[in-house]
Amino acid sequence: MRDNELIRCEGVWKVYNEGRPYEVRALEDVSLRIQRGSFTLFSGPSGSGKTTLMCIIGTIHRPSRGGVYLNGKDISGFSDAALSRIRRERIGFVFQNFNLIPKLSAWENTAAPIIPLCVTERERRQRALQLLNRLGLMERAHHRPEELSGGEQQRVAIARALINDPEIIILDEPTSNIDVENISLLIGILEDLRAKGKTILASSHDESMLKRADLIFELRRGHLTGIRTP
């Protein structure tokens, strides 16, 4: 392991319906390294495997073959409970479609990850409201997702990802469902997080995002086809 290396993928494969006629190879032999505190971008056309790779790194999916190393430890064979612990303590994931719980308000969605912790309801609410305030959503704290715009929903999803103060933040296509104004707001948030030493992984085609990344991994049809800097 190199000194500052946080994540390493070695020969990662993800095959859906393996051995069947309709087998899909989402990832094929992908190997990469991500430095702590960096802003890494995954680029590539739709269906290139970006989301699958980020889900595997984010431990919400398991690779079919290969190893995923976090701080030098191979986590690909970890139990469900151990992976949940990693997600709770170290990773915040922002989905492309935000995946907010429709019946919960913005603050309740934000605080959902810490419900099973020894945190009182008052403290939970306080932490969620602080985050929403930081992301400019204080006035929307008691609104349900259906009452929020796309950009606001995304910021709620970011707040939820940050509630446990994780060291890794993964954002799947964060610029695809929001307008230009919200993209610059998002970039501001990401730069702020990066300044605090967080490791950020995102997939995007947006130029303003590409410009700010430390490293860009290019994927095509499940293969890692290139690594470049902006």
| Residues near other proteins (CB under 8 A) | 55, 58, 60-62, 80-81, 84-85, 87-89, 93, 95, 99-104, 112-113, 115-121, 124, 160-161, 164
Q: How far is the CB of 152 from other proteins (least distance, A)?
A: 18
Cα torsion 15, 81, 31, 172 to 10°: value is 80
Q: Which two tokens stand for residue 128?
A: 């969620």
CB-nearer residue toward other proteins: 21 or 116: 116
CB-nearer residue toward other proteins: 109 or 199: 109
* Residues 64 and 14 sit within 8 Å (Cβ to Cβ): yes
Q: How far is the CB of 180 from other proteins (least distance, A)?
A: 28
Q: How far is the CB of 221 from other proteins (least distance, A)?
A: 20
CB-nearer residue toward other proteins: 90 or 223: 90
Residue among 84, 1, 35, 74 nearest 197 (CA): 35
Amino acid at site 147: E
Q: How far is the CB of 90 from other proteins (least distance, A)?
A: 9
CB-nearer residue toward other proteins: 36 or 61: 61
